[in-house]
Amino acid sequence: MKIFLDTADIDQITSLMPSQMVDGVTTNPSLIAKSGRDIKQTIAEICTIVPGPVSAEVTATDLATMRKEADVLSAIADNVAVKVPLTPDGLQLCAELSAQGIMVNVTLCFTAGQALLAAKAGARFISPFVGRLDDLGQDGMGLISDIVDIYSNYDFATEVLVASVRSTQHVTDAAIMGADVVTIPPAILGQLYKHPLTDKGLDAFLADWQKTGQSIL
């Protein structure tokens, strides 16, 4: 399963790239606003750091303006995935861009039916928001399971990109279910490394090693 960083923070992205754990980046208008930077400059810089897909979202809601914004965003770099909302106009634009060979990430997916439409429109990625469904008492990861099954039934090429991830358990569950991608904040990536028994075991090994008086170097 691929791991994308869900952030527009250049410093965080740069610091995590050497880990070889990061396969791409997703951004959205909220993350761009939080960064306080120009969207085009930010996306361009991220694309020079990250060789994988970098999602950049249109902000318009009507088809004509979304087309113009998509032209601007897709021209920034070859690895830009234009992010569009799961609306009739968004899916029409998805079909148009996909026919041109441009990667499209269809976002704000909350039902398997919506995911089916996005796949038929040729989306490269579908972004179901599991955390937001969980917040409403619904089964966010159940949606991922349903989408994975549907896509498998019909050999759709669209990749399931699990979004709105709130915990490491979401990441593990997504991998078990066979999701293609999970996009996570840098903090959750850091949490994936951690377990108290790992820390305890390392402390014990180091204590025993010190007793030997040896040095590998």
Active-site residue, from 34, 40, 83, 211: 83
In this predicted structure, what is the pLDDT of residue 152? 98
In this predicted structure, what is the pLDDT of residue 182? 98
pLDDT digit of tens for each residue in the chain (217 aa)?
Answer: 999 999 999 999 999 999 999 999 999 999 999 999 999 999 999 999 999 999 999 999 999 999 999 999 999 999 999 999 999 999 999 999 999 999 999 999 999 999 999 999 999 999 999 999 999 999 999 999 999 999 999 999 999 999 999 999 999 999 999 999 999 999 999 999 999 999 999 999 999 999 999 999 9
Q: Reply yes or no on whether 83 is catalytic.
A: yes
In this predicted structure, what is the pLDDT of residue 30? 94
In this predicted structure, what is the pLDDT of residue 146? 98
In this predicted structure, what is the pLDDT of residue 44? 98
- What structural domains does the chain harbor? 2-212 (3.20.20.70)
* 36-44 contact pairs (CB < 8 A, 24+): 37/8, 40/72, 40/73, 40/76, 42/8, 42/10, 43/73, 43/76, 43/77, 43/80, 44/76, 44/77
In this predicted structure, what is the pLDDT of residue 134? 97
The residue type of 145 is S
- What is the C-alpha separation between 34 and 36, in angstroms, rounded? 5
